[in-house]
Amino acid sequence: MIDHLEPDRDAIAGAKGRFSFFGELLAHALRSAGVDAAVGEIPGEYCPGEFSVHGQDPAVPQHQLKLIGTAQRVVAGGWLFSSVIVVENSAPIRAVLEASYAALGLDWDPATAGAINDLVPHLDVDAIEAAVTGTYARYAALEYGDFGSLLG
């Protein structure tokens, strides 16, 4: 999960642009790791969104998987942009989605839910973290901090 926060006097005005920018940034990161990734809603995806990041199966290009969901929270004076990246072990996520969507009576296509390593098996969390931080570092200065100090 990636959370990006920034102060902004008029956070509402830039909401759609942020969706587009961060969706493309994350798709670029996945492409740099070897995933055929793009931004856009795929038919039948869970939690559908215009700026979801999906990947295509190299063996079956018409098979697309949602890999990253994006969301925003805008408040007076700032915004939060969150992204959830599914890298490994898609079966439990798909099972929860199937149960949740059935309980809600919503239609969706379970074949659209997956993980990055369903498409490119050798990729793992470390590889995707390196791709995302490398791509993100071209956008903003990154600093590592000890968040354990916030607990106390």
Which stretches of the chain are assigned E, i.e. beta strand? Answer: 2-7, 37-39, 53-56, 64-75, 78-85
Which spans in 9-82 are helix H?
Answer: 15-32
| 102-118 mean pLDDT | 97
What is d(CA 19, CA 42) in angstroms, rounded to the nearest whole number? Answer: 16
**pTM of the predicted protein model:** 0.91
pLDDT band at residue 104, thresholds of 50, 70 and 90?
very high
Q: Which CATH superfamily is domain 2-137 in?
A: Bira Bifunctional Protein; Domain 2 (3.30.930.10)
For 44-67, write each residue's pLDDT tens digit.
999 999 999 999 998 898 999 999
Please compute the mean of the pLDDT values over residues 87-109 and round it to a whole number: 96
Domain map (residue ranges) of the chain: 2-137
